[in-house]
Structure 1
Amino acid sequence: MPRNREVVRRLLQQAALALYDKQGYEQTTTAEIAAQAGVTERTFFRHFADKREVLFGGEELLIGMLVNAIQNAPAHLGLLDTLLVAFKAAEPVFIENQPLYEPLRRIVSSSPALQERHLAKVQAMTVALTMALRERGATEHMASLAAQMGMSAISHAILAWHKERAGTPNEHLEKVFQDMRALSTN
């Protein structure tokens, strides 16, 4: 049984994706995921609270990374540029998780329970971004609006990166943020 925490988490995620893809989310048990990953069910629960979370693990790490980047962004940047800096700082996470993206997208779209969890994840990230922007002096309204726009932008950029299979996440982010700015002049 592997001992490195991140290796075990990744094995559990890969096993869950394979099983969910093959037999469906609802039909898959945590015991099956653990067996597929070569660990015990008890080990599964040391890493994840339930079988939904195996797909959404790492949320806290990503939120922490984004909030930290917002806090450390140059003070002269506007809200959208601050978010762009933060999202660009998370590029290694997007690259590391690239192989999981397509199966995860497909599996989440096939399960109402997973769609609900995905929406909760997006909401938690939006709230964290809003709070971080408020700490930089933005009003509640502007921070919330920017955070929601930013979440939409990152979603579009990552989807384009996966569809086109070219460039980097940051190149796609730059393009989406340029497109958002262009919208305000049309």
Structure 2
Amino acid sequence: MQSVLDDGKKRMEGAIHALEKDFSKLRTGRASSSLVDNLVVEYYGTPTPLSQLASVSIPDSRTITIQPWDKGAFGDVEKAIQKSDLGLNPVNDGKIIRIAIPPLTEERRKDLVKVAKKYSEDAKVSIRNVRRDMNESLKKMEKDKDITEDEMHGGQDNVQKLTDDFVKKCDELFTAKEKEILEI
């Protein structure tokens, strides 16, 4: 029974980790290297992650700088940024690529909060699916006479507590992200 709980907890932690990763991609008013982490550049005909072509730094809260290691990659990196759905305009001075992060409009902030809410709901659905799987495993164990009915009910109570904790954590992460997005 403990292995079912441990496995379920690991899977729920995975849902939280995925939520945090999704949240890091959401653009707030601040510059963050996570905005360009997932960028793939067509480099000599091969899709290559930006992190393998250049160093990314954040000199201030409104600027991202990208320093490609190969001078021939400047144009490719610039094109990849323009084609991405980030809505950012790179400025290439031949030595470094600068991306100025414009302040968010009120409407864009509200849209980002909706996207964050969707990510949060998706994580909660994942957590509830794990709960369902765990409860089915406990019922099967009881049916196979591996555990008693009382142990099964106790296990289901533990599963529900675990689920409630992780759903609460999703809500806390969403509230923090919402505050960060709406902050001017």
| Interval containing the TM-score (normalised by the shorter chain) | 0.3 to 0.5
Q: Which has the larger radius of gyration?
A: 2
Which structure: greater helix fraction?
1
Which structure: greater strand fraction?
2
Q: Output the TM-score relative to the length of structure 2.
A: 0.34
Relative contact order: is structure 1 or structure 2 higher (C-alpha 8 Å, sep ≥ 6)?
A: 2
Q: Output the TM-score relative to the length of structure 1.
A: 0.34
